Amino acid sequence: VAMSEPEVGSDLGALSTRAEETTGEGGKGGFEITGRKMWISAGSVCDYVVVAAVTDPAKGSKGISLFVVEADREGFQVAKRVAKIGKHASDTCLLTFDRVWVPKENMIGNRGHGFRLLMTNLSKERLSIAIGSAASARRVLALTVNYVQGRRAFGGSIGGLQSVQTTLARLRVEIDSCTSFVDRCIVEQALGKLSAESASIAKYLATDLAHKTANQCLQLFGGYGYLKNSPVARHFVDSRVPRIYGGANEVMLEIASRGLGFRPQRFRMNKTKKLPRSKM
């Protein structure tokens, strides 16, 4: 799914990719898509791309529509594969659309319903991110408990030190609490009752906790935790980006705040008035 752009991340209402209604060969009606999409997973190996594009600029988020674009369409190009510090099993790409024509049948749902469809499925995506992050935190904790029980220092295992036990116990309490909330969200999703607020809270809790757990556990591994082939090092690197994708965690807090009665605000930059040239 191609949503994010080089200049647009979590704010999907500010997309710049355009889809203009036009006529193709043989007089067939369709749309011509122009723009760029960034941070697209598996972009270099896909056969199809679901593209979010603006069909009615004056309508804001209600002017966004979704289109299926075949990878062999003229004008579509994988412009760049970006190098990441983690998540190496999944490629991430910059995709460009240079007047890519698609027939009307390639539109998903109704015109202008793209933002609504994205928001519906984003809750599921955020829950899946939360599930993976909670599992990651629990795995790192288990690896660390096993390591400190066998690591010898000062005449005994470092797992016998009270400071180490306290650190791990606190992480266990937080992980168990987070898992309980994520499990509740899974039940709500199964019943069709998962709200955007609950999904956002689950993502925020689990992804922040996964990175916190990896960070504190890497410290207990000492120098071995900083090695590339160390499992805790991989968790440390890979646990960072889930706090960004699927909606940055700062945005998750914005969504959660709506349950407290707050409403989102949009700030517009005032055009700077040109200063008169000084006479020298």
125 catalytic per annotation:
yes
Contact 100, 75 (CB under 8 A): yes
On the 0-12 / 13-18 / 19+ scale of CB atoms within 10 A, 2 is buried
User: Assign residue 192 a region: left if phi > 0, alpha if psi is -120 to 50, beta otherwise?
Assistant: left
Q: Do residues 100 and 73 touch, judged by C-beta distance below 8 A? A: yes
State the catalytic residue, choosing from 32, 125, 197, 250.
Answer: 125
- Taking Cα atoms as reference points, which of 105, 124, 243 lies closest to residue 195? 124
The count of C-alpha atoms lying within 13 angstroms of the C-alpha of 165, restricted to the half-sphere facing its C-beta, is 6
Spatial separation of the C-alpha atoms in residues 58 and 98, rounded to whole Å: 22
Contact 233, 226 (CB under 8 A): yes
Positions marked catalytic? 125
